[in-house]
Structure 1
């Protein structure tokens, strides 16, 4: 089980890294085209550098950013990587901490699952909207719903993560918080 979990974690990180690399390369392309656009003779000699061919780069970077944020938070960022305000949580007894996890986990999981259907209903209209410029590289099939569909994966993944935390709290209780030396992350 740990091997499968590690493989899935590496896959999720690789996908996030690939999105970041694609976004960086697209950004670099934008810079090259922006500064070469001032040299009209360059676009005449090398038609590939014609600035009118690169309107899609901004929308592509925005698409990658949306996907990177929701993919990363759903599959890459661990619970201990989040900023938490746990002053009350760490000062109470483990039994109370367990109930904090159960109540908050059920609340968050329920809210996320309940929001899936209304969100998808709003996305239904987006199936009709085309992107402004991405059709030049992806073709006419990509719709706005496709771009924002990662949000549904985010809702499901985070709901499952909180359901798992509730299961672990019910089944195994709560671990004592580990005090780390200054400057060191807790485990």
Structure 2
């Protein structure tokens, strides 16, 4: 199972790298068009913003680990292992409940945008913003899995970052 997860995470990283590379190339194209040919291209801004939106939510959903996110863990690190387990489960359940409760209205809002299109490229906005629904489902599933891992005692609750070159299991 771990090798399957590593495979899919690597493919998710490939997609993120592709989006970042496309953003960079579009940015260079816009600079060249604007300052060399004195003819700015409007679609480059729109496509860059859309790619940035997708990159942020895609990366947060499929590339970053829980330990990669910014945390305010002063109290968490000051308590014992049993209390850390409780804190971790309660916070994960709060995230699950929050995202799950918001999901129906989120999907409703995204589907409402099928009637609108982007200004220049005419891309339907429900396609543009659909990445948020993917993100919300992925985060909900990841934290549900985290609750199971914490409950089974598999999750590392030390709060410290692994040593360089060492992955936390």
* TM-score, structure 2 as length reference: 0.89
Specify which of 43, 53, 56 is matched with residue 43 of structure 2.
Answer: 56
User: Alignment partner of 1:84: what SS?
Assistant: coil
Structure 2, unmatched stretches of 5+, are: none
Match in the other structure for 2:116: 129
Structure 1, unmatched stretches of 5+, are: 39-50, 136-141
1:129 and 1:165, CA in 2 relative to 1: closer, same or farther beyond 3 A? same
- What are the equivalent positions in structure 2 for 1:10-159 lying under 5 Å apart? 10-38=10-38, 51=39, 54-135=41-122, 142-159=123-140
Moved beyond 4 Å, runs of 4+: 178-187
| Aligned-CA RMSD value | 2.4
Displacement of 1:174: 5.6
1:21 and 1:131, CA in 2 relative to 1: closer, same or farther beyond 3 A? same
Displacement of 1:11: 0.4
Displacement of 1:124: 2.4
1:173 and 1:98, CA in 2 relative to 1: closer, same or farther beyond 3 A? farther
Instruction: Check the 8 A contact 1:94/1:174 in 2, yes or no.
Output: no
Match in the other structure for 1:48: none
Displacement of 1:37: 3.2
Provide the C-alpha distance between the structure 1 equivalents of 2:167 and 2:77, rounded to a whole number of angstroms.
13
Provide the C-alpha distance between the structure 1 equivalents of 2:146 and 2:52, rounded to a whole number of angstroms.
28
* TM-score, structure 1 as length reference: 0.81
Displacement of 1:181: 10
Provide the C-alpha distance between the structure 2 equivalents of 1:174 and 1:70, rounded to a whole number of angstroms.
24
The superposition leaves residues 112-152 of structure 1 with CA deviations (integer Å, 9 ceiling, x where unpaired) of 011111111112221010111114xxxxxx30110010000
Which of the two has higher C-alpha Rg? 1
Displacement of 1:104: 1.0
